[in-house]
Amino acid sequence: MTFAESEVRHMDAYSHLLDVLGITDDFEQVTEEPAIKERIEYLDEYLEKSESDDEREYVMSILLFSTFVQHVSLFSQFLIMT
């Protein structure tokens, strides 16, 4: 299993969960909240650098993704549920 396959499986599972809970529209609208929209734009800027030939830009983009997206954004949602 590759990283990409794992991410596709996560995306499908979360999409199904949103459908089951009936909150797909709410979830899609959250990206228009100013704080979330700014975070997405900031992360998009760094994700573009993941294709850079500059090793420093590449490493920074991977670190940013790993730290903020995978840990802070994902696991903070589980903290809220506890």
Give the start-to-end residue ranges of the domains of the chain.
3-81
The residues, any chain, with a CB within 8 Å of residue 49's CB and separated by 6 or more, are: 57, 58, 60, 61
Name the band, by pLDDT with cuts 50, 70 and 90, for residue 7. Answer: confident
Task: Provide the H-helix boundaries in 1-82.
Answer: 3-21, 24-29, 34-48, 55-64, 74-81
Query: pLDDT digits over 49-81, tens only?
Result: 778 888 888 888 888 877 777 666 666 666 666
Examine the pLDDT at 82 and tell me if it is beyond 60.
Answer: no
Examine the pLDDT at 42 and tell me if it is beyond 80.
Answer: yes
